[in-house]
Amino acid sequence: MITGKNYIGNTLSAKGEKTYKTFNPKLNTENNTLFVEATNHEINQAAQLATEAFKEYSQFSDVKKAKFLKAIAEEILALGDNLIQTYCSESGLPEGRAMGERGRTIGQLNGFAAHLEEGSWVEATIDTAQPERTPFPKSDIRKMLVPLGPVVVFGASNFPLAFSTAGGDTAAALASGCPVIVKSHPMHAGTGELVASAVIKAAERTGIPNGVFSNVNSSGIEVGQTLVQHPNVKAVGFTGSIRGGRALLDLAAKREEPIPVFAEMGSVNPVVILPEALKNRADAVAKTYAGSITLGSGQFCTNPGLILGVKSEGLTQFINTLSSQIKTIEPSCMLHPNIANAYNKNKEKALSQKGITVTAKYDENVAANFSKQTLTTVSGATFLENTTLHQEVFGPYSIVVQCENIEQLETLILKLEGQLTATVIADNNEASNYPKIISALQNRVGRIIFNGVPTGVEVCASMMHGGPYPSSTDSRFTAVGVDSIKRWVRPFSYQDWPNHLLPDALKNENPLGVYRIIDGLKTTNKI
Amino acid sequence: MITGKNYIGNTLSAKGEKTYKTFNPKLNTENNTLFVEATNHEINQAAQLATEAFKEYSQFSDVKKAKFLKAIAEEILALGDNLIQTYCSESGLPEGRAMGERGRTIGQLNGFAAHLEEGSWVEATIDTAQPERTPFPKSDIRKMLVPLGPVVVFGASNFPLAFSTAGGDTAAALASGCPVIVKSHPMHAGTGELVASAVIKAAERTGIPNGVFSNVNSSGIEVGQTLVQHPNVKAVGFTGSIRGGRALLDLAAKREEPIPVFAEMGSVNPVVILPEALKNRADAVAKTYAGSITLGSGQFCTNPGLILGVKSEGLTQFINTLSSQIKTIEPSCMLHPNIANAYNKNKEKALSQKGITVTAKYDENVAANFSKQTLTTVSGATFLENTTLHQEVFGPYSIVVQCENIEQLETLILKLEGQLTATVIADNNEASNYPKIISALQNRVGRIIFNGVPTGVEVCASMMHGGPYPSSTDSRFTAVGVDSIKRWVRPFSYQDWPNHLLPDALKNENPLGVYRIIDGLKTTNKI
């Protein structure tokens, strides 16, 4: 049952007076439950519980934390159809997507559990003592990663499960040993509460201290601001708009103790189609991209919003085919009236710029909150001049830039803002002929794709999901995959520390059997 | 020969009108060379050269970069006695220290060279394709660390070689593939220019592009501010005061594209002496600490400025012995009149606080710029109330806090600001009885030492030199040891990228023979 209350640690709490409801965009009507926004007192309670719980939880073994994560996955599954129905009613997304995203969420939790069970993630590094060294003896020093402290996670509008309550950020933070306070996304507060109840159940049955997890409701920005400024909070995870992410980054930077904010924000994910590929398979590429652009109503951070090529017959053919394909794709429901309105507004702004030609527009009437996908084109010179055209239009919108020549294409890439991904579409060996284009792309993105599409972010150790600003606030960390745990930890050294008081990962006996670097050599040996 | 000019890339340049001289604190007189401050035009040139050079340098093999680093070490040695004499004349530090620091600097450069030659530092992680996977095929994804871009390094006042021109920050950045612009420290601009000339010579003879290294002079704060705000600059390294580091952090946070600032700032490095240790060996500990407190006139970031114990006969004896020892130690020359004046001013401020008792003071007259070491004591309650007493007095000054009981000691530790180090002095097995004290200390520091002294920061892979704010701006990275390279890099993923176009570390054949994680397993195998 959804109560509309906050979880302040393990306790349901609703002391506030401000309330709100979620919205069913498909039915174009409000859902029933009344959600109660967290008060400052409740936020304080959650922060104090988290700090207290951190003392104990930060010392837990990886095996114990892994049990907790696996229990969360089980409890989420146990929510059954109730979760799927709530998800759909709060997001307009289809059941298949809900099931897929639940699978991804559970996969992430179990993936971190396995990462903990293996144990080498703490990067244990040991330099043994040299008491006879001259002129000074050398101490025994041992380093490993330790958790930062309480973390605030903001639920994402476009991933009610995989990037929200018990999504990637939360799973990574809990795995590292950090307590988590989730600022629930107002659009799917019911989904959030259900998942939060699963986390609390898992915590209770695996002996996790009260305060390791809280879930607070809010419809506006104040609760999030208060959390980011709270002295007990040591780091922040966010997925959303550039404006929202930057505001949190600025708040965190102004604190007496500045803290890291990992915001994964906007990206237009440039796709470069090289000349030979345009000449030989414009149609095939266009057909693939019609699907990628409109997937999930274009509501993905890796949606390809910018396609670049050099003027040619092939490029004209590509635009024609892509346009005709896009028009035939059925519009789909967007996440929320606010998202649909923003899409329409940003699209109109883009369309009103000088030099823009609309090549495809879904012209039939659609139901409220459904998307009308659009494709436009513009010259390289116009795109270079007008940075408004560089901005993301969140939804099924893309622009094809027709460059005069390869030099203009390179100049244009060098001037692009930071991006999550870039894609290169090339024929056999063609890519080798454009080293400057490729190196320019590499400097602007976090992931580069060859002859594929940027949508579909694989959850795996080799994934980099993040990129130069403004695609994310810190290009040095991924938001997806097991290495995302590195956002929530810091190295810690013990010097001449007694063996029996060291954490297991650093003990002479290597009781966990983890990989360690001992005097420069990677090994699982004892000392 | 020292020219007083800037190195804008490989070119000596002195377009500016503002000049300054360095100072010999031992002779209490200015040195001769006139240094010319860099102009905005020169700063721009250096930044543009760095960005241009980055395109090529970022693609260099680790072996080629290693040759460059080793050549720098050779060229620094080749500067011979001229460097040592200049160092001493600009810092007041003795020749032995100059030689030792030169050795450390060369060791760091060669250490990074070896790290590059081994090559596994790029953390290559590969997930191979699964084309048959359902419902979606899995792509081949390969991740490694790549350099961020041009880095600005600020020379440190207290380490003219090891944390300045070609010191740890520069060596790490050059190793990672980032060009470096050094903002030379005004107190030792001559030392800086000599080392810069060695870097340029090394660059020229190992084929490193012009612009990978620049060295700019400045006596005020404007040049540094301009550099940190320059859009071409992608990261900053700084060692110095909390005020200076925070100012740079704030500037960097306000940029259109915020960039990371790694500032290693102030720390009082608490030393906790547990009751049994105080009872059984107060004298021995006091004698050791008299040396640590006054080492290098106390001008070390790991100087133990705060000693904590529970009121007892042992603590009284410790204070008495430490006081009498400190008085007998010969004062030494401080780095610069500004440092000596700041020491006296901050010490007077500390001494003027209520409840402070001076237990040792070097009372004889000393030469200008020489330190007069001082020890004070205060009750736990007074220290808890007055955070002025928590502030670092840079120089040979320490305060002993006499806590009422163990609970007050724990409370006090929980309220301490972030620190680089903490030290626990304990008798046999005594530490096991104080888990709360030890866990509280761990949460406030980056390195914890058992029965030793915090001074003497070993350059090794297991060293964490950095800690919670304000001891450093980003506790997630060390400033010492090969892992300090991680400050200047970001992960980058290639998806379905052709094998022959991949960097060597990610190629199927593993031509570099580096450790990689392939489908979850650590291995040096080919694919």
Q: Which residue has tokens 């509460």?
A: A193
Specify the DSSP class assigned to residue A139.
Answer: P
Give residue A99's pLDDT. 98
Residue B244: how many CA atoms within 13 Å on its side-chain side?
20
Give start-end residues of each CATH 3.40.309.10 domain in chain A.
271-450
Contacts of A381 (CB under 8 A, 6+ apart): A404, A408
DSSP string, A487-507: GGEEEEEEES--GGGS-GGGS
One of B264, B333, B392, B403 is an active-site residue; which one? B264
Q: Summarize the confidence of residues A425-443 as an average pLDDT.
A: 95
Q: A257 and B469: CB-CB below 8 Å? A: yes
Which of A102-106, A517-521, B132-136 is predicted with the least confidence, judged by mean pLDDT? B132-136
User: Is residue A432 very low, low, confident or very high in pLDDT (cuts 50, 70, 90)?
Assistant: very high
Q: How far is CA B257 from the centre of its chain?
A: 25
Q: pLDDT confidence of B428, banded at 50, 70, 90? A: confident
- Chain B contacts of A468, Cβ < 8 Å? 257
> Does the structure show a pLDDT above 90 at A312?
yes
Element (H, E) at A348: helix A337-351
Q: What is the 3-state secondary structure (H, E, C) of B319-384?
A: HHHHHHHHHHCCCCECCCHHHHHHHHHHHHHHHCCCCCEEEEECCCCCCCCECCCEEEEEEHHHHH
Looking at the annotation, which residues of A are catalytic? 264, 301
Helix (H) or strand (E) holding B517: strand B516-518
Evaluate if residue A363 carries a pLDDT over 90. Answer: no
**Number of Cβ within a 10 Å radius of residue A136:** 10
Spelled out in words, what is the top-level CATH class assigned to the domain A13-152+160-221?
alpha beta
Would you say the ipTM is above 0.95?
yes
Which pLDDT tens digit goes with each residue over B395-418?
Answer: 999 999 999 999 999 999 999 999
Task: Give the largest Cα separation in chain B, rounded.
Answer: 84
Can you tell me the distance from the alpha carbon of B171 to that of B479, in angstroms, rounded to the nearest whole number? Answer: 11
The Cα–Cα gap between A252 and A250 comes to 5
Chain A contact for B517, CB < 8 A?
Answer: yes
Q: Which residues contact A388 (CB under 8 A, 6 or more apart)?
A: A349, A350, A353
Nearest to A428 by CA among A237, A269, A275: A275
pLDDT in tens, B261-302: 999 998 999 999 999 999 999 999 999 999 999 988 889 999
Domain with CATH 3.40.605.10 in chain A: 13-152+160-221
CB contact under 8 A, B469 and A148: no
Average pLDDT, chain B: 96
Angstrom distance (rounded) from CA A474 to CA A468 = 7
Evaluate the omega torsion of the peptide bond into residue A94 and state whether it is cis, within 30 degrees of 0.
Answer: no
Spatial CB neighbours of A390, under 8 Å, sequence gap ≥ 6: A268, A306, A383, A416, A417
Chain B residues in contact with A137 by the CB 8 A cut-off are none
* pLDDT at residue A18 in the model: 97
Every domain of chain B with CATH number 3.40.605.10 lies at 11-265+478-487
B477/chain A closest Cα distance in angstroms: 7
Token pair for A25 = 């965009």
User: Using an 8 Å Cβ cutoff, are A21 and A219 in contact?
Assistant: no
Any bridge partners for residue A214, and if so which?
Answer: A181
Find tokens 């994560």 and name the residue. Answer: A69
Chain A with chain B: Cβ pairs closer than 8 A: 188
B460 catalytic? Reply is no
User: Are A153 and A213 within 8 A, CB to CB?
Assistant: no
Tell me which chain B residue has its CA closest to the CA of residue A429.
B498
CB atoms within 10 A of CB B199: 29
Check: CB of residue A284 under 8 Å from CB of residue A258. no
In 10 A of CB B81, how many CB atoms? Answer: 9
Mean pLDDT of B183-201: 98
Q: CA B382 to CA B405: how far, in whole Å?
A: 14
Distance CA B71, CA B57 (A): 16
Query: Which band of pLDDT confidence, cut at 50, 70 and 90, is reported for residue A386?
Result: very high
Distance, in Å, from the CA atom of B228 to the CA atom of B469, rounded to the nearest integer, reads 20
Q: Does the pLDDT of residue B171 top 90, yes or no? A: yes
The region that residue B176 occupies, defined by phi over 0 for left and psi between -120 and 50 for alpha, beta otherwise, is alpha
pLDDT at position B21 over 90: yes
What percent of chain A is helix, strand and coil (3-state, nearest 5)?
A: 40, 20, 40
Chain A residues touching B148 at Cβ < 8 A: 475-476
With a CB cutoff of 8 Å and minimum separation 6, the contacts of B315 are: B273, B278, B282, B309, B400, B402
Contact A493 B447 (CB under 8 A): yes
Instruction: Give dist(CA B217, CA B6) in Å, integer.
Output: 6
Average pLDDT (A429-436) is 94
Task: Say yes or no to pLDDT of A176 above 90.
Answer: yes
Superfamily of domain A271-450: Aldehyde Dehydrogenase; Chain A, domain 2 (3.40.309.10)
Cβ-Cβ contacts under 8 Å, B236 against chain A: none
pLDDT band for position A338 (cuts 50, 70, 90): very high
Question: Which tens digits make up the pLDDT trace of B110-143?
Answer: 999 999 999 999 999 999 999 999 888 999 999 9
Q: Write out the two tokens for A200.
A: 């609390």
* B200: pLDDT strictly greater than 90: yes
Termini Cα distance of chain A: 54
Give B29→chain A minimum CA distance, Å: 34
Q: Which of B52, B75, B178, B301 is catalytic?
A: B301
**A111: contact with B, CB 8 A cutoff:** no
- Quick count: other Cβ atoms within 10 Å of Cβ A445? 28
pLDDT band at B364 (very low <50, low <70, confident <90, very high): confident
Q: Per the CB < 8 Å rule, is A125 touching B258?
A: no
- This prediction's pTM: 0.97
How far, CA to CA in Å, does B93 sit from each of B25, B392, B460? 9, 21, 25
Please tell me the predicted confidence (pLDDT) of residue A364.
87
Give the model confidence (pLDDT) of A31-89 as tens digits. Answer: 999 999 999 999 999 999 999 999 999 999 999 999 999 999 999 999 999 999 999 99
- Fold classification of B11-265+478-487 is Aldehyde Dehydrogenase; Chain A, domain 1 (3.40.605)
HSE value, Cβ hemisphere, 13 Å, CA-based, for A48: 6
Asked if the bond preceding B135 is cis, omega within 30° of 0, the reply is: yes
Is B516 in the A-facing interface, judged by CB distances under 8 Å?
A: no
Residues A241-297: tens digit of each pLDDT? 999 999 999 999 999 999 999 999 989 999 999 999 999 999 999 999 999 999 888
- B 120-149: CB under 8 A from A: 120, 125-127, 136, 138-139, 141-143, 146, 148-149
Answer whether residue A1 shows pLDDT above 90: no
pLDDT in tens, A6-21: 999 999 999 999 999 9
Instruction: Quote the pLDDT of residue B266.
Output: 85
Nearest to A121 by CA among A491, A494, A526: A491
Helix, strand or coil, per DSSP, at residue A398: strand
Residue A429, token pair as written in the block: 């060996």
Is pLDDT at B163 greater than 90 in this prediction? yes
CB contact (8 A) between residue A448 and residue B125: no
| pLDDT over 90 (residue B1) | no
